[in-house]
Structure 1
């Protein structure tokens, strides 16, 4: 992926619980992607559902460019909840990494506000990246949630919660899924022009 090009696509980074620190691949991508910004709720340490979703809507409203969401962990649920409440034809795709099982019985009290998501297909293309040994979601549950969101599933092996502790660095391989979302949008756009031309 050519990270130095002038790209009309706006990337919205959507971290999970407690935000993504300096060594997290999301933070490193944010520095490299020229047209990107981070979702900024006010309740990182005690996530409030409406605060996170409304903050994401502010980020969407801040640009007129086409948008790709780059979401991790609780951020993936935030994207799905945003899509249920709001609409924008500028969303061309979402990368959903390490979808957590927010319906599990031992869900921490601090994120109970996200424990009842509406599991329905997203109105835009999505790729879900799952780890075989994610401590916050059994692989079978990750698959189920991804399928309910209508996402294409990519399983990457034993990488825990696919965060800074997973040793991914700038996660160059992960960038290929952004390219897939861009290419899919380009193909759809060209197909639409062909049908209407």
Structure 2
């Protein structure tokens, strides 16, 4: 599957890559629904349980280089930290037309599991492509001021959607059409 969304003309036929976070996205997660409904391509990682930042960055490079044109990235949770770290080190940033960064976690918190310790420090460099950060006021993995600061450091537009938890399968978003609208808005900025 090439990940192109032909069902949504607002995405201008662009390839969309889904970047799940730690432990992947389950069947009720909006990312999984988008994959099934719209044919977006999930970037599969070798190890979802003990994610290594360098390995995840290398895998994103591999997938982007397979595509004939720049893609839109749709990251959730640790996938947001992947985008930031990857963009700061890759030569292939022009392969990205834009990034939707949903629920970035604060991997520097004291209560983060040891599986995520190698995702410290958080990379806070300005992203070299258009981006939108979507955050919740009651995300259990990131206090709102920390999410706002990350978005500012990344030069990402900020969209606060109220109390929606970690903006995942438990958030009651179903197919999350509002998220698709944000992605289409981003496609317009990047296109």
Verify same fold: TM over 0.5. yes
SS at the partner of 2:93? coil
Structure 1 residue 107, shift from structure 2 partner: 1.9
Q: What's 1:78 paired with?
A: 82
Higher CA-based Rg: 1
1:1-197 matched pairs, under 5 angstroms: 3=7, 5=9, 7-34=12-39, 36-86=40-90, 87-186=92-191
The runs of at least 4 consecutive aligned structure 1 residues that moved more than 3 Å come to 4-8
Structure 1 residue 72, shift from structure 2 partner: 0.2
Instruction: Tell me: higher relative CO, structure 1 or 2? Use CA pairs within 8 A at least 6 residues apart.
Output: 2
Shift in CA distance, 183/143, structure 1 to aligned 2, threshold 3 Å: same
Structure 1 residue 2, shift from structure 2 partner: 7.6
TM-score (norm 1): 0.89
Any stretches of 5+ residues in structure 1 without a counterpart?
187-197
Contact 2:129 2:190 in 1 (8 A): no
Any stretches of 5+ residues in structure 2 without a counterpart?
none
User: How many residues are matched?
Assistant: 185
CA distance in 2: counterparts of 1:2 and 1:143, whole angstroms: 33
- Name the Cα RMSD after superposition: 1.7
CA distance in 1: counterparts of 2:55 and 2:83, whole angstroms: 13
TM-score (norm 2): 0.91
